[in-house]
Structure 1
Amino acid sequence: MARKAGFPPVADANTRVLILGSLPGEASLAVQQYYGNPRNAFWRLMEGVLGASLVPLAYEARLAALRAHGVGLWDVIAEAERPGSLDAAIRDPAANDLVKLIEGLPALRVVAFNGGTAAKLGGRLIDERIPTIALPSSSPAHAARSFEQKAQAWSALKTPLS
């Protein structure tokens, strides 16, 4: 089975909140975009957090809007074997160097994990170097919570961004 690799980080010296997913799914890899599956609620959730319209924007403009609001993106896993898009199918993961990235973000206030797999793996890697928030996954596969319930949980990001 071929290994799947994620994307480079989207972060800069002004990043106050770093959101870490697990590993991009098939739809995201196909379009080479973070949260590229149109059914993934990430961009709609971030609209509520930022109070800014993101969904209608082109991808590069979405990333620019996140950076302008102090939000960075990356994934806990650099590469892994995984048939399909489910986190449960991830095998033999290789981690991204989260510590190195975090140490290079002087304004960082919190790391937010998008989903349980990211929180479980990422929490071990960053080892209480900075406060963390575990968020319900924005993935369409995570249907245990409604969009409204997810949005309420994700609103916790508003405080470190203010």
Structure 2
Amino acid sequence: MERVTHEFQPVFNRDSRVLILGTFPSVKSRQQQFYYGHPQNRFWRVTAALLKKEVPVTIEEKKKMLLDGHIAIWDVIDTCDIEGSSDSSIRNVKANDIGGLLAQTSIRAVFANGDKACQLYRKYCMEQAGREIIRLPSTSPANAAWTLEKLIQAWSVIREYM
């Protein structure tokens, strides 16, 4: 177990209408200093499909696609004990100030990228944030039961809030 702190900022602006929350950055994401850095994670392919855009490559392209699509992203956890990238190993959580971010935006709905993000939000953030969360299937490569096509279909619910 290693005590780790989230080291990069949320992606949002005051026009953001949808917030997508992960749990905590993977080892690959921490190395790259940006969200969903594992090459097998399907987050960027799913969001690009929903926004009818090319899959972004650089961090700047990713930020631009999200902000142009009115999507904000962040993680539930600011600091925790974790083994590698294992969400199931997460202990001793200090949550991010989700309510503070919501107050700066036009966010209409909060979504969880997977079960663990949903559970952690409900446990540590929901009361303070004052918003329910909608669980989406995880884009993680560990969620191999979900094909890219099934993920895009399930995630298309966010379109009604954009």
With normalisation by structure 2, the TM-score equals 0.91
> Aligned partners of 2:145, 2:115: CA distance in 1, in Å?
12
Measured after TM superposition, the shift of residue 158 of structure 1 is 1.0
Matched with 1:112 is: 111
Name the CA distance, whole Å, in 2 between partners of 1:68 and 1:130: 24
Q: Specify every segment of 5 or more residues in structure 2 that has no aligned partner in the other structure, as ranges.
A: none
Q: Name the structure 1 match of 2:61.
A: 61
CA offsets, 1:111-135, max 9 Å, x none? 1110111101113412483353210
Mapped to 2, the partners of 1:61 and 1:42 lie a distance apart of 14
Runs of 4+ that moved beyond 3 A: none
SS in 2 for 1:72: strand
Unaligned segments of structure 1, at least 5 residues? none
- Do the aligned partners of 2:126 and 2:132 also contact (CA within 8 Å) in 1? no
What CA deviation, in whole Å up to 9, does each residue of 1:29-68 have, x standing for no partner? Answer: 111111011110000000111111123x311111111111
Identity rate of aligned residues, in percent? Answer: 36
Instruction: Name the TM-score, length of structure 1 as normaliser.
Output: 0.91
Q: Which segment is superposed worse, 85-94 or 118-127?
A: 118-127
Deviation at 1:5, TM superposition (A): 2.0
AA matched with 2:76: V
2:141 maps to 1:140 = yes
* Count of equivalent residues: 159
SS in 1 for 2:111: strand
